[in-house]
Amino acid sequence: MTATSPPSPGQAPIRFAQLADLLGRLHISTTDGRIWLDEQRMLLLHASALGALRQDMVESLGTDIARRLFTRLGYQAGRFGAQMARKARPCASLNDLFVIGPQWHCLEGIGLAGPVRLVFDADKGEHYGEWVWRQPPEDDAPLRQSAPGATTPCWMQVGYASGFATEWLGRPILYREVACQAMGQPACHLIGKPVEAWGRDAADDWQYLMVATLHGPPRADGEVERVSRTLDSLLHGGDEPTQRASLDEVETLLLKKALARAQGNIAAAARLLGITRPQMVYRLKSRGINTPAARP
C-alpha cells in the first residue's frame, strides 16, 4: 500500500479527516479523577512545569542527557500513538490512518502540524515525511530562557514523529528538525526518512532515541561478565554486582551472541531467540549493530 502527498504547493494538499471520532475517544472522568485517550491514560500538566523540569535537567544533568530523556519520552509517546491509530479508524485509507499522529498531538495540546509532503509505502517500509509544526510547547520555555540561535529545542516533537513512523512502518525512521520557531523561524520544520537514507550524519541524532545511550555505550572489556553477574543476581540471588548491566545491554549482547552463533544468518539467529526475522532486523538496526557480513 502506498500513499503520496502532492510534491508541489500548486496541487491540493493532504486533507485531515474530521476530529469528531478522535474526540469521542477522549474521556474525562470526574468520578475517579482520570483522563483517557482511547485506552491510554493521560495527564493534564502545566506546560510551565514541564519547561521548569527541562531547565532543571539541563542545569543539573547537562544538555546532552536532558535531550536524550526528552527525545526518548516523545519517541515512546509516538509509538503508543501509532498503536492507537490502527484501532481508531479501521476502515480509513492508509493516508488518513497515518495522519492520526499529528491529530492525536493536536488533541493533546502539542501544537498543530501540517504536511508539506508525505510519501510512504507500508509494504516496502519506504518513507519521506515533511511537516510544518506550529506552536509546539517546547518552544515556549526556550524562547523565554535562551536566545535564538541555540540548538533546535523540539526534542519531544522529533522523538514523537520518529516513534510514530518507526512503529507504523516497522523499521527505524528518523525525523530531524531543520528549522524551529525558537531559533527565529516562523514555524518548526521536520523531515523524516529511514535512518540509512540520512547517511552518516544521522548517527548523532539517532542515538538520542536509544535507551542504551542514556548510560553510554557498553564497555567491550568484561561485557559478558558484567551481564552474567547481573542476571545471576536477579535470577539466583547472587551477590549484588558493582556494575549492573541495563536491560538494553542484556538484549544487545543476546542479539550479538545469537548472530555470532548463527554465523551471520539473521533468520537462524532470530529462531535462536524465538522471534521473527523482521523483528530481528529491527532490533539489530535500532541498536546500531552492524551486520555487513550477515547472510539473510
Say if residue 223's pLDDT is above 60: no
Task: Say if residue 183's pLDDT is above 50.
Answer: yes
Give 233: exposed, middle or buried? Use CB within 10 Å, 0-12, 13-18, 19+: middle
- What does the alpha-carbon distance between residue 189 and residue 177 come to, in Å, rounded to a whole number? 6
Highest mean pLDDT among 26-30, 102-106, 289-293: 26-30
User: Please, which pLDDT band fits residue 294 given cuts at 50, 70 and 90?
Assistant: very low
- Checking if the pLDDT of 2 tops 70, the result is no
The CATH number corresponding to 2-209 among 3.30.1380.20, 1.10.3720.10, 3.30.310.50, 3.40.250.10 equals 3.30.1380.20
Q: Is the backbone of residue 131 left (phi > 0), alpha (psi -120 to 50) or beta? A: beta
Q: How far apart are CA 141 and CA 57, in angstroms?
A: 13
The CATH 3.30.1380.20 domain(s) of the chain lie at: 2-209
pLDDT of residue 192: 94
Angle of helix 266-273 versus helix 277-286 axis, rounded to 10? 100
Q: What is the structure's pLDDT at 86?
A: 75
Q: Which part of the chain is CATH 1.10.10.60?
A: 223-286
User: What number is the average pLDDT over the span 53-61?
Assistant: 84
Q: Quote the CATH superfamily of domain 223-286.
A: Homeodomain-like (1.10.10.60)
| Count of other CB atoms within 10 angstroms of residue 7 | 10
Phi and psi of 26, rounded to 5°?
A: -95, 120
Task: List strands edge to edge, sheet with 2-4.
Answer: 2-4, 112-121, 126-134, 188-194, 173-179
Q: State the pairing for strand pair 40-42/173-179.
A: unpaired
Q: What is the pLDDT of residue 34?
A: 92
Lowest mean pLDDT, pick from 91-100, 111-120, 187-196: 91-100
pLDDT reading at 174 higher than 90: yes
> Among 79-83, 218-222, 230-234, 250-254, which stretch is predicted with the lowest mean pLDDT?
218-222
> What pLDDT sits at residue 238?
57
> How far is the CA of 216 from the CAs of 38, 151, 195, 210, 244, in angstroms?
36, 22, 20, 10, 13
Integer angstrom CA distances of residue 185 from 110, 111, 179 = 18, 16, 6
pLDDT tens digit string along 119-160?
877 777 788 999 888 877 776 654 445 434 446 778 888 999
